Structures are given as C-alpha cells and as structure tokens.
Amino acid sequence: MTKSKNWWVVFKNAFQGVIYAFQTQRNFKIHLFLSFLVVFLAIWLDISKTEFLFLTLAIIFGLTVEMANTAFEKTVDLVIEKYHPQAKIAKDVSAGMMLIASFGLALMGLLILLPPLWQKLGF
C-alpha cells in the first residue's frame, strides 16, 4: 500500500476510519452517545469555558483511545488467524487501556459536572 500525497485522499481515508468505528464498534457508539449527553448537560449547567475545554479534551481522548483499541485489535486479527495466548494478552491489554481511560474520563466528568448539577437541582 502506497502512502497518498493528496491531502483530500488522506482526509477521506481518515473519515472512513471514523465511519467504520461508528458502524461496527458498539463501545464507540456508546461513548459517542454519552459524549453528546455530557455536552448537552455542560451547556445546560453553563459550566466555565475552562471546564468545557477539559470535557472536550476528555471526549476527544476517549474516542481516540477507543479507535486505537479497535485498530490494534484488527491488526492482531490480521496477523494471527487462530487463537494464540500472546494475541489474547495483546488484545486484553489494549481493552484494558480503554477501560482505564474510561474510568479516568468518567471521574473527570463527574468532578466537573456534579457540583453544578447538585447546585442546579437544589441539593
């Protein structure tokens, strides 16, 4: 496979990767859905620009790690056609990376959104 020098083709291929992740990866869809909920909640709570920036970076990071996990797992599947314990470890570690990122990102979202949510709800 040769590398394209045409930026439009590079952009189109990258966009196809995002579409593939959306169409085939259940966790990517879940992450995207929750991301939209977080954005709407953040707007409703009128959080600061700095807090919104952190949430935006967290969303981008989470979606990126999810796609990296998918790319890694597909690469392992391409190289190893049948079960191999080392391939299982590689895929498990990749999934673990996403799990750790998800917990950290959820904690960040809660730390940013819970205080103004409690205040808005009168607690």
Is 73 annotated as contributing to ligand binding? yes
Is 91 annotated as contributing to ligand binding? yes
Residue written as tokens 């196809």? 16
What gap in Å lies between CA 8 and CA 13, rounded to an integer? 9
Vertex 100 angle, CA 35 and 110, to 5°: 45
Tokens for 26, please give them: 């259940």
Active site residue 81: no
What gap in Å lies between CA 38 and CA 119, rounded to an integer? 17
Is 51 annotated as contributing to ligand binding? no
Among the listed residues 66, 69, 70, 94, the single catalytic one is 66
Is 81 annotated as contributing to ligand binding? no
The identity of residue 39, as a single letter, is: V
**Residue 93: exposure state from Cβ atoms within 10 A (0-12, 13-18, ≥19):** exposed
**Binding-site residues from annotation for ATP:** 73, 91-92
Annotated binding site: 66, 73, 91-92
Q: Which residues are catalytic?
A: 66
